[in-house]
Chains A and B, each alone.
Chain A
């Protein structure tokens, strides 16, 4: 199939080697607050404007600012109450613009991974050197601000190039959140490294549920409970991953936070769950299941070899 990017091997969700999370837990739960900065007047990318409206998009910009200055604290304190540590999808320029937020997360032992420099600087059309510069800036900026070495990458505004996955693997990253093909970590075919795809559950991302799917707050809370119940049940067979990707400018609005709290209450009332960060999940999976998964694929005749995008012009 010529157009297959060969990102990973086909691995049907049945009779897989059993994943056990630490402590025999069945479901690994992680929560991903996106902490983002959208520039007021971003430079133009030929493939996509920075805002849906012509700059300055005052409503869009000021709503995201509300998310950082008002919403973030609501969400963080709520997570504190339920003992949940975030794995932050970070536009790393936030370390420069709003360091108080970064410090407050770091003090709590939250993990940071890169979501690019700004959500208004897309990867489309970047040269390899430019993309390397963004990745290296991300590593350097987060390390300087928090002491943490980032291990995960979510391309800014989900804009990848055909090189992104190879480049992050080469830079020692453990996981990508850009692939949505599975409810368990999976091997990604990069030229070097051990990169896994981390389930990031776009379907329960508040941008999708509140934006595209137009859900109300109580419906969203219900969706999260149903998502959790199903994945926990399936985790009996082999450990699953549930992720809730969030944006304070959406979920932490005053009409939405209490129904969201109900969902967290439901989820945290279960003890078969490993409440973890994405890095912990990726680390455990790479260590214990990377080879097992490949052996299983080979045994089943599903391993096809090669690396991603090699048939495509780079």
Chain B
């Protein structure tokens, strides 16, 4: 038994991360950010509106929110579609009542299929972001650079054609290739929701202009907590509120930090979850230490 000698060669074993995208920097050593509006926590609510095709290729893997049973999986197709036609409008109403702004990454495929959704998002003053072509158009290292570039161009063209010009991007299933940030920056995107590496916005180096990674917390993802972990709606919202209160306790020493979490329309927009959600949003709205903002605003403020 033996592995090839290269298994014990460590080319990148040196100071800092083993990637060139950003430098190693400790949270405790960075200059604390004091927001101009004097708020202590920047809450970034992300509402991913993805279109999941009923006949996915599942390459290199199936989107966790995508189809589950053999074709035609009407059950999951329609349950996801519920999110984009019913759930998301409940979320929009709840945000409006609380007076809060959010970021909505939307699949390009929804721009024509669900045009009123994009209009409602923009009409309420939220940020319309790009979530790739659709839930089965996953970016991965098995694509050639020209294939991936073409996908991103298709997304850009679809948004342009619809009259929208998003600057924030969330990858389908938060999966990337090694070149994704380069290609996104070339296509004019300035903020990226795939990387959780720091508690504050983190500029990523690319071949061209930088793109800023904003921390969207994986561990507070609503699909993960409510569907995969089968937690109750109150337990879910209590954890988000706990994170908010905890980050406030760190403000004196470490400055303002970002609290990014998802409200996925087909998950968070269920009727039985609305009471907890509305209560949670009211706590965010009523907390003078918290600034609920769009990703594009947060990038500029830090």
Name A residues whose Cβ lies closer than 8 Å to a Cβ of B: 37, 39-41, 43, 45-46, 53-59, 62-63, 65-66, 69-70, 73-74, 93, 96-101, 117-118, 121, 125-127, 129-130, 133-134, 161, 210, 214, 216-217, 250, 253-259
Complex: how many Å from CA A99 to CA B3? 29
Which of B10, B140, B219 contacts A250, CB < 8 Å? Answer: B219
B24 interface residue (CB < 8 Å to A): yes
> Could you name 22 residue pairs across A and B whose Cβ atoms are closer than 8 Å?
A40-B18, A54-B141, A56-B176, A58-B171, A58-B175, A59-B174, A59-B194, A59-B196, A65-B196, A74-B250, A125-B2, A126-B3, A127-B1, A127-B3, A133-B8, A134-B8, A214-B231, A216-B231, A216-B239, A217-B242, A254-B243, A256-B219
The range of chain B's interface size is 35 or more
Given the known A-B contacts A66-B196, A69-B197, are A40 and B240 also in contact in the complex, defined by CB atoms under 8 Å? Answer: no
Given the known A-B contacts A39-B18, A216-B239, A217-B242, are A58 and B10 also in contact in the complex, defined by CB atoms under 8 Å? Answer: no
B235 interface residue (CB < 8 Å to A): yes
Is B27 within 8 A of A255, CB to CB? no
Q: Which A residues are CB-close (under 8 A) to B14?
A: 96-97
Complex: how many Å from CA A258 to CA B235? 15
Q: Which B residues are CB-close (under 8 A) to A217?
A: 239, 242
Q: Which B residues are CB-close (under 8 A) to A70?
A: 27, 198-199
Whole-angstrom distance from the CB of B78 to the nearest CB of chain A?
27
Whole-angstrom distance from the CB of A267 to the nearest CB of chain B?
20
Whole-angstrom distance from the CB of B195 to the nearest CB of chain A?
4
Is A93 within 8 A of B13, CB to CB? yes
Instruction: Output the nearest chain A residue to B29 by Cβ-Cβ distance.
Output: A100
Is A255 within 8 A of B195, CB to CB? no
B57 interface residue (CB < 8 Å to A): no
Is A45 within 8 A of B7, CB to CB? yes
The 4 closest A-B pairs by CB, nearest first: A214-B229, A127-B2, A255-B243, A254-B243
Is B242 within 8 A of A258, CB to CB? yes
B128 interface residue (CB < 8 Å to A): no
Q: Which A residues are CB-close (under 8 A) to B215?
A: 66
Is B194 within 8 A of A58, CB to CB? yes
Complex: how many Å from CA A53 to CA B194? 14
Complex: how many Å from CA A100 to CA B25? 10
Instruction: Output the nearest chain A residue to B239 by Cβ-Cβ distance.
Output: A255
B218 interface residue (CB < 8 Å to A): yes
Complex: how many Å from CA A274 to CA B282? 46
Query: When each residue 168-179 of chain B gets 1 if its CB lies under 8 Å from chain A and 0 otherwise, what string results?
Result: 000100111110
Is A93 within 8 A of B194, CB to CB? no
Q: Which A residues are CB-close (under 8 A) to B176?
A: 56, 58
Most chain B beta carbons < 10 A, residue from A66, A70, A73, A254: A254
Query: When each residue 6-17 of chain B gets 1 if its CB lies under 8 Å from chain A and 0 otherwise, what string results?
Result: 111010111111
B213 interface residue (CB < 8 Å to A): yes
Q: Which A residues are CB-close (under 8 A) to B230?
A: 214
